[in-house]
């Protein structure tokens, strides 16, 4: 596993790269994590998908990436992905977004459609959500698993997201995505992707497959990990090597 810090303006982005030396021309998978996730949250996924080359970034203000005082709009996060793509000189690669990372991935995909071989969108609708007044206070005080929100992201990052995130719908542009797209949706009460929203993806993106996880909600990658890996492996057509 290789660790990198990539400069995007004044921000340093932390990345992990499985960096399989004997790739045999394998197409890389770049992962755009959820709202507060560090790159390390995907270590188990990276190992389970081996020998697939996986690159995962921690968006600004998350994990080991630096946390600027401002710069938390959709456009700023899309620029993070662009910086990583440039650094690794990625061409014809797979891109996966999970949770809020979906909106960042969609923002990139709609600007750089020619670079993508495929797209995986997990547990989030085709929208970049605006965070309403008071969201930051609630997030900082709420426990997410065993961690309080204030331990996952610095207060200035959370308040920056609240102040700078503007509501944006990708729906009218989804038809512009030409690459095969995999949609992952949980059915539990905490799912952030409804059946109707998943159907919209399927109706608007010509080559789309929706896979439903019946026994979990938003945390499908943890709660149904084996199925999550099996589904992605099948989409990427990766054979597991022992």
Residue 112 shares a structural domain with residue 145: no
What is the CB neighbour count within 10 angstroms for residue 24?
Answer: 6
Q: Which domain holds residue 217?
A: 2-128+168-236
More confident residue, 242 or 79: 79
Alpha carbon dihedral 30, 36, 39, 44, in 10-degree steps, equals -90
Which pLDDT score, from 0 to 100, does residue 150 have? 93
| Among the listed residues 203, 155, 162, the one whose alpha carbon sits nearest the alpha carbon of residue 183 | 203
16-20, 32-36, 106-110, 172-176: the lowest-pLDDT one: 16-20
What's residue 145's pLDDT?
80
pLDDT of 22 above 60: no
**Angle formed at CA 91 by CA 89 and CA 93, multiple of 5 degrees:** 115
Are 103 and 135 in the same domain? Answer: no
Asked which of 26-30, 119-123, 151-155 is least confident by mean pLDDT, the reply is: 26-30
pLDDT digits (tens, 9 = 90+) for 180-226: 999 999 999 999 999 999 999 999 999 999 999 999 999 999 999 99
Q: Are residues 136 and 31 in the same domain?
A: no
* Section 27-55 average pLDDT: 96
Confidence of residue 87 (pLDDT cuts 50, 70, 90): very high
User: Which H or E run includes 183?
Assistant: strand 181-186
Task: Assess whether 149 and 46 both reside in one domain.
Answer: no
Q: Please report the pLDDT score of residue 167 as a whole number.
A: 97
Does 136 lie in the same domain as 100? no
Verify that 189 and 74 share a domain, yes or no: yes
Domain-located, residue 242:
no
Together in a domain, 111 and 202 = yes
Average pLDDT of the segment spanning 35-48: 96
Which DSSP letter does residue 61 get? T
pLDDT surpasses 60 at 24 = no
Question: Do 62 and 157 share a domain, yes or no?
Answer: no
pLDDT for 160 equals: 97
Contact 56, 31 (CB under 8 A): yes
Instruction: With a cut of 80, say whether residue 240 has pLDDT above it.
Output: no
- As a whole number of angstroms, the distance between CA 56 and CA 200 comes to 27
| Last-in-domain residue among 164, 184, 212 | 164
Pairwise CA distance, residues 152 & 161, whole Å = 14
- My answer on whether 61 and 145 are in the same domain is no
CA distance 109 to 12: 22
User: Over 60: is that where the pLDDT of 23 sits?
Assistant: no
- The per-residue pLDDT for 242 is 40
Q: Is residue 187 part of a domain?
A: yes
- Tell which residue, 77, 74, 60, has the closest CA to residue 14: 60
Give me the mean pLDDT over the 25-33 stretch.
Answer: 89
Same domain, 147 and 202: no
The answer on 226 and 189 residing in a single domain is yes
What angle, 0 to 180 degrees and rounded to 10, lies between the N-to-C axes of helices 74-88 and 101-111? Answer: 70
- Given 164, 189, 210, which residue is the final one in a domain? 164
Residue 221 falls within a domain, yes or no? yes
Give the Cβ contact number of residue 178 at 10 Å.
Answer: 14
Poorest-pLDDT segment among 78-82, 98-102, 145-149, 194-198? 145-149
DSSP 140-157: HHSEETTEEHHHHS-HHH
Do 159 and 190 lie in one domain? The reply is no
Q: Rounded distance, CA 32 to CA 102, Å?
A: 7
Give the pLDDT score at 206: 92
Q: How many domains does the chain fold into?
A: 2
Contacting residues for 217 by C-beta, under 8 A, at least 6 apart: 186, 187, 188, 189, 190, 191, 223
**pLDDT-above-90 percentage for the chain:** 91
Please enumerate in sequence order all residues whose Cβ is within 8 A of that of 126, keeping only pairs 6 or more positions apart, or say none: 102, 106, 169, 170, 171, 174, 197, 200, 201, 204
Q: Could you tell me whether strands 29-32 and 93-98 are parallel, antiparallel, or unpaired per DSSP bridges?
A: parallel
Helices (H), 72-194: 74-88, 101-111, 135-141, 149-152, 155-164
């Amino acid at each position: 596993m290789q660790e990198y810090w990539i400069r995007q303006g004044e921000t340093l982005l932390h990345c992990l790269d499985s960096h399989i030396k004997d790739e045999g021309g394998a197409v890389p998978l770049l992962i755009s994590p959820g709202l507060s996730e560090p790159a390390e949250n995907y270590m188990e996924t990276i190992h389970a998908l081996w020998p697939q080359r996986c690159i995962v970034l921690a968006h600004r203000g998350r994990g080991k990436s630096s946390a600027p005082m401002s710069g938390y709009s959709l456009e700023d996060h899309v620029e993070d992905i662009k910086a990583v793509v440039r650094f690794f000189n990625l061409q014809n690669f797979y891109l996966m977004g999970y949770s809020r990372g979906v909106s960042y991935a969609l923002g990139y995909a709609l600007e750089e459609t020619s670079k993508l071989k495929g797209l995986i969108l997990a547990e989030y609708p085709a929208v970049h959500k605006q965070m309403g007044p008071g969201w930051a206070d609630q997030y900082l005080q709420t426990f997410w698993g065993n961690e309080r929100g204030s331990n996952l992201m610095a207060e200035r990052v959370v308040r920056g997201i609240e102040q700078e995130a503007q509501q944006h719908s990708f729906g009218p542009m989804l038809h512009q995505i030409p690459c095969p797209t995999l949609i992952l949706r949980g059915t539990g009460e905490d799912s952030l992707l409804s059946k109707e929203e998943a159907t919209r993806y399927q109706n608007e993106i010509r080559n789309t497959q929706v896979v439903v996880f019946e026994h979990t909600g938003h945390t499908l990658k943890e709660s149904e990990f084996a199925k999550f890996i099996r589904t992605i492996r099948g989409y990427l057509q990766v054979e597991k090597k022992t």
